[in-house]
A and B are shown apart, each in its own frame.
Chain A
Amino acid sequence: MAEPILKVENVTKAFGGLVAVCDVSFQVQPGEIVGLIGPNGAGKTTLFNVVSGYYAPTRGKVFFRGEDVSGKPPYALAPRGIGRTFQVVKPFAGLSVLENVVIASFLKHPRRADAEAHAWSVLELTGLADRADAPAASLTLAGRKRLEIGKALALEPVFLLLDEVVAGLNPTEVDRTIELILQLRARGMTILIVEHIMRVIMRISDRLVVLNFGEKIADGPPAEVARTPAVIEAYLGESAA
């Protein structure tokens, strides 16, 4: 097997006495779409924040393409090829949609003209080109989620972390987003996605990692994971299992 693009090794993240993520290990292979699921409060977003550099792990290590990146700040990870979106979207509200994406494009295109050219191509891909001049604050939720993806894509990452980019969208928008994600994978991007909507996660993931109360309880192909007693128990309660 090729070298994993992401290797999470015995990661624990505690906030004071609260252990949000406990001794979790998993790997993501190049070109994979891995879904990270679990009930509310399972530690998915915390784990995301550890992997993307927003939190330093309390214990354990994160390796990206073989390099130990544990505790490195987000702005050091972006140049290494990690792009992420936020569950609570973070548009630069006072700036235009184009400017939002231009700022991300500066990472690979330091000249302003080049960055703008690249930003336009990202806006085309994410279907935001006709809103380029609008203030980001004027976008609908669906638009803001697409802008989140657009900003992450403008970094030209090799590894993309998507945090609930589908939740809150209507069915048509969901399908468009799924299509976009599959298109990105076809271009060779590796994706780790957190999502609550099972219909989506089951359909696009090659593999699922399931968290419950901060611990990993399952790891495998979606169909197999769905049959795992611990997973059914976590989602539906003990009696169902």
Chain B
Amino acid sequence: MRDRRLLGSIVVFAVLLLVPLFVHDTFFLRVASEAIMWIGLAVAFDVLAGYTGYLNFGHSAFFGIGAYTTAILMMRASWPFPLAVVAGGVVAAAGAVLAGLPTLRLRGAYFAIATWALARAIQQAALMMTVTGGPDGMRLTAYLQPRFFYWVLLGVVGATFFLLWFLLERAPFGLKLKAIREDEQGAKALGLNPTHLKVQAFVLSAVPTAVLGGVFAYWVTFIDPDSTLGDLVSDQALVMVVFGGMGTLIGPVVGAVLIFAFKTVFWTYLADYEVLYIIILGAVIALSVVFLPNGVLGKLRRRGAVRRPGTGAPAPAAATAPPAAEAGTAAARKGAT
């Protein structure tokens, strides 16, 4: 089952790769590129939020760090774009370790507040420094190639998605993070070092976010503290993840696509009712928290449309195990083969 879903993801990825060859409408490409970027941001957010149980309201800081690192290196040090983007990822990784060690000791609301405050501090720093251009922001050399950015964003998000799929759904790492989420003290007794795992998750969440920030900066050619370091990235990623389904990889993808589609339709056809957008979005969040605690994906799963993830192929021992008392369990086990 899980493999079939991976296969589906690969097919979707391949189709998306081919889209710019057939579609030349720049508006469409721009919207699609942004949607893909949001998929990446939401999936990265979920590493910490859904799998590890830490709501990171400083997610936007990593997006901004990537954007500014890329902009500064390209404009002030004449670095080529690919190197500058990678440097943004490296800076974010270091930042995640530094920020994670103290803040990941906190739990729940305290972690959310601490990361939010840290993001605000970084935003203020960007406003005051000269290298960032302060409140005036930074302008990058325009590179008007919509297809190029579409492919770069798709490449980054695709690589992120499949790497995370392997680490979180296939390798032990994902289950270990979930153990931390469920009971940190209990996890320690099983030989898991919560600090190590949480910092690793933090880095894993921060790096793709920063890389996307770097690509974003070059793509939109202008960044300022508000657009890249403001709350938007954290808030919107949270909304997408909650709406789609936390603690899964497909959930954030579904949430990102639906929320972004809604946003685009709204801004295209109902731009006069700007205020309504925020109100409707807020209502959607409130309603989905109450009625869809496990997101859209969780709703589908409960109806049996999607099988519970994490039920891997039965281990060899299962074959030698005596028949399970429950026929349903035995059938389910067989079904997973």
Contact = CB atoms under 8 A, between A and B. Distances in A.
Interface stretch (A101-109, A164-172, A182-190): A101-109
A110 B172 CA distance: 7
Interface in B168-217: 170-172, 175-176, 178-179, 181-183, 185-194
A133 B187 CA distance: 20
Given A93-B182, A103-B176, A130-B325, A117 B193 contact: no
A78 B329 CA distance: 31
A7 interface: no
B321 interface: yes
Closest 7 A/B residue pairs (Cβ) = A90-B186, A78-B191, A92-B182, A117-B315, A116-B315, A130-B325, A120-B317
Interface of B: 170-172, 175-176, 178-179, 181-183, 185-194, 308, 310-318, 321-322, 324-326, 329, 332-333
Interface string A230-241: 000000000000
B191 A79 contact: yes
A52 interface: yes
B186 A106 contact: no
Contacts of B176: 103, 106
Contacts of A111: 172
Contacts of B311: 96, 98, 133
Contact of B189 (A78, A119, A129, A131): A78
Which of B170, B189, B311 counts the most chain A CB atoms within 10 A? B189
A122 to B, nearest CB: 10
A92 B179 contact: yes
A164 to B, nearest CB: 15
Given A92-B178, A94-B181, A117-B318, 6 more contacts: A54-B185, A54-B188, A86-B189, A106-B175, A129-B324, A152-B189
B175 A99 contact: yes
A133 B329 contact: yes
Contacts of A52: 189
Nearest to A136: B182
A209 to B, nearest CB: 22
A124 B322 contact: yes
A211 interface: no
B189 A84 contact: yes
A111 B194 CA distance: 20
A107 B329 CA distance: 27
A107 B321 contact: no
B190 A78 contact: yes
A74 interface: yes
Contact of A90 (B185, B313, B329): B185
A95 interface: yes
24 contacts: A53-B188, A75-B189, A75-B194, A90-B189, A92-B186, A93-B183, A94-B182, A95-B175, A96-B311, A102-B175, A103-B179, A103-B190, A113-B316, A115-B172, A117-B316, A120-B315, A124-B322, A129-B321, A130-B324, A133-B329, A133-B332, A133-B333, A151-B189, A154-B190
A10 B310 CA distance: 46
Nearest to A115: B172
B65 to A, nearest CB: 31
A116 B175 contact: no
Contact of B315 (A90, A113, A154): A113
A121 interface: yes
A73 interface: yes
Nearest to B179: A103
B190 A120 contact: no
Contact of B312 (A84, A104, A112, A155): A112
Contact of A86 (B186, B194, B317, B332): B186
B175 to A, nearest CB: 5
